[in-house]
Amino acid sequence: MKPGRDRSMHVVLGTGPLGRSVIKELRKREEPYRVVNFSGRQTEPEDVVVRADLMDPDQAKAAITGASVVYQCTQPPYNQWKGKFERLQDNIIKGAMVSGAILVAAENVYMYGDVDHEIHEGLPYAARTKKGRIRAKLAEQLLELHKLGKLQVVLGRGSDFFGPGVTDSSAGERLFKPLVMGKAASIMGDPDKKHTFTFIEDFGRALIMLGQSEDTYGEAWHVPNADAVPMTKFIELAAQLAGVEAKIKPMGKGTLRIGGLFIPTARESIEMFYQFEKEFVVSSKKFTDRFGQSSTPLEESLKATVDWYRARKT
């Protein structure tokens, strides 16, 4: 960080569900912030929004100028990661370096690959999938820059997320939209296997906590997650809160392949299907031990999600 710089200017890149959760938390804390997105549209009337195409290095640099903390909550379309994600991150890095800002990068856990036990931050990056290797490359780049003293970085990693505003996720619209209508919720893989999900509001809150804690820099941290439960239990609890009967419609690779003929996201999901074929448990003990901050109880987070989908339905 440049000498004498005010640490308080937060810049949020992206206004998807995670970006909006960061904004919501910053607003609660009465922290000054501005938002950067491609459309220039506000998520709330009081937001200061900068319209920028972050794939353009000059626009990225201009959008980040003056930032003290930058939250990278944006990514290319799921089926366009190769080539574009590296370029996007390079532009964000350059902008953060010029501004002397701390870069808080939101990540997932793809880089670890197909793991047969609990997933924690000490695991090697052993991904064999395209998207897993891209995630590993991006994470290694950020950590190396921090190690070299060129950029202050902290990485916050979440599992598949859910919550108000989350639609494009394995626990998004395909699951909750039919569920609140009393229909079968579509899920991937084996419904009897445990799966860790990250509540979107916990993710946003954790990113801010990481960005404001210097002793966390230069490391990866799994954000707080509720205990992993089988998908059957996840659906049953959500259905109970929605006041409907729990119904499940499992989707296998064959279904995704057929869907992939028309929906690129479905086609791109096939290589990550291993996460839903067996127990997929992500530890957030490191974060909880450091901050004493656990996740929102599953019943509470599911109720917020069900309420949002029910309101959206009407």
Q: Provide the pairing of β-strand 194-195 with 229-230.
A: antiparallel
Residue 30 to residue 32: CA distance in whole angstroms: 7
Whether residue 141 sits in one domain with residue 64 = yes
Are residues 151 and 88 both part of a single domain? yes
- 91 and 125 housed in the same domain: yes
d(CA 20, CA 268): 25
Question: Do 136 and 252 have their domain in common?
Answer: no
> Is residue 275 in some structural domain?
yes
Question: What token pair was written down for 192?
Answer: 């009897």
Per 3-state DSSP, the chain is made up of helix, strand and coil in percentages (nearest 5) of 45, 15, 40
The CATH number of whichever domain residue 106 belongs to comes to: 3.40.50.720
Same domain membership, residue 180 and residue 103: no
| Residue 260 confidence (pLDDT) | 58
| Whole-number pLDDT of residue 268 | 79
Question: Based on the domain organization, do 94 and 56 belong to the same domain?
Answer: yes
Judge if 120 and 190 occupy the same domain.
no
Kindly list the distances between the CA atom of residue 239 and the CA atoms of 22, 183, 244, in Å, as whole numbers in the listed order: 28, 10, 5
Asked whether residue 4 is domain-assigned, the answer is no
Shared domain for 245 and 273, answered yes or no, is yes
* Beta partners for residue 37, in sequence order: 51
Domain that holds residue 118: 10-159+198-222
pLDDT tens sequence for the chain (314 residues):
343 344 479 999 999 999 999 999 999 999 999 999 999 988 888 899 999 999 999 999 999 999 999 999 999 999 899 999 999 999 999 999 999 999 999 999 999 999 999 999 999 999 999 999 999 999 999 999 999 999 999 999 999 999 999 999 999 999 999 999 999 999 999 999 999 999 999 999 999 999 999 999 999 999 999 999 999 999 999 999 999 999 999 987 777 776 654 567 777 788 999 999 999 999 999 999 999 989 999 999 999 999 999 998 65
Could you tell me if 242 and 218 lie in one domain? no
pLDDT at 276: 94
What is the CATH number for 254?
A: 3.90.25
Residue 155 has φ and ψ, to the nearest 5°, of -110, 125
- The structural domain count of the chain equals 2
* Any domain includes 3: no
Could you tell me if 134 and 181 lie in one domain? no
On whether both 87 and 204 belong to a single domain, the answer is yes
